[in-house]
Amino acid sequence: EAGVVQSPRYKIIEKKQPVAFWCNPISGHNTLYWYLQNLGQGPELLIRYENEEAVDDSQLPKDRFSAERLKGVDSTLKIQPAELGDSAVYLCASSYTDREAFFGQGTRLTVV
């Protein structure tokens, strides 16, 4: 069974540019998460979807970050415009509603 797939693995952009990350969850998983992992820190939840509905986006900086999960499957996380402080690893995870989460390899973003 394929795991959670994220792309790209690495992204380098200049500040003030937009960037998007894509996540394909494990087939059949109805819950999808985006986590932010700063260097030397544990991941922190940005947003959680149940199917296509964002049920917890309290930690998502909505002035520059947006996310969508079309048809309750794939998801995209966007930053516009990016700032230097956004350099981090963005992790996607999926699960059945009350089961353990499986993580993708992450996208490492560098803003220069």
| Contacting positions for other proteins (CB under 8 A) | 4, 31, 35, 40-45, 48, 55-56, 91, 93, 95, 97-106
Q: Which helix (H) or strand (E) holds 90?
A: strand 88-95
Of 81 and 108, the one with the shorter C-beta distance to other proteins is: 108
Of 18 and 61, the one with the shorter C-beta distance to other proteins is: 61
Which residues make beta-bridge pairs with 95? Answer: 31
Q: How far is the CB of 87 from other proteins (least distance, A)?
A: 17
Q: How far is the CB of 41 from other proteins (least distance, A)?
A: 6
Task: Select from 76, 97, 77, 75 the least CA-distant residue to 30.
Answer: 97
Alpha carbon distance 86, 18 (integer Å): 11
Of 5 and 81, the one with the shorter C-beta distance to other proteins is: 5
Q: How far is the CB of 95 from other proteins (least distance, A)?
A: 6
Q: How far is the CB of 6 from other proteins (least distance, A)?
A: 8
Chain length of the chain: 112
Of 44 and 83, the one with the shorter C-beta distance to other proteins is: 44
Task: Select from 14, 58, 61, 53 the least CA-distant residue to 32.
Answer: 53
Alpha carbon distance 84, 102 (integer Å): 29
